[in-house]
Amino acid sequence: MAKASADVEELPKAIVRRVVKDKLSNSSEEGQFTLHKDALLAFSESARIFIHYLSATNGLARGYGYGYEISQKTFRKENY
C-alpha cells in the first residue's frame, strides 16, 4: 500500500529523537530528560525545511555555473 505524500516527506521520528537527545544531553549538565511530542515535531519540521532549503540552494548554485555537475547529489565540504 502506498504512503501518502505527507508521510513520505516526514523524517523518521526515531532518528530525529536520537539526534536531538544526543545533542541536548551533551550540552546540558542533567543526564536524563524527556522530549515533549510537540518539541520533537518542531525539530523534525525544522530539519525538513532546512533540507529543502539546502536542496534549493544547491539547485540555484548549479544554475549560476559554480562548477557543479548535474549528476552530483551529495553535499561535500570540498565543494563549498
List per-residue pLDDT tens for the chain, 80 residues long: 455 555 557 889 999 999 998 888 877 777 677 889 999 999 999 999 998 888 887 766 666 555 555 555 666 666 65
Per the domain annotation, does 29 fall within a domain?
no
Cβ–Cβ under 8 Å, residues 42 and 10:
no
- The residue range of the domain holding 39 is 35-71
Q: In angstroms, rounded to a whole number, what is the distance separating the alpha carbons of residues 28 and 30? A: 6
Backbone φ/ψ region at 56: left (φ over 0), alpha (ψ -120 to 50), beta:
alpha
pLDDT of residue 38: 95
Give phi and psi for 54, each to the nearest 5.
Answer: -60, -40
DSSP 77: G
Per the domain annotation, does 59 fall within a domain?
yes
pTM value is 0.59
Q: What total number of domains does the chain contain? A: 1
Per the domain annotation, does 20 fall within a domain?
no
Cα radius of gyration (the chain): 17
Per the domain annotation, does 65 fall within a domain?
yes
Per the domain annotation, does 25 fall within a domain?
no
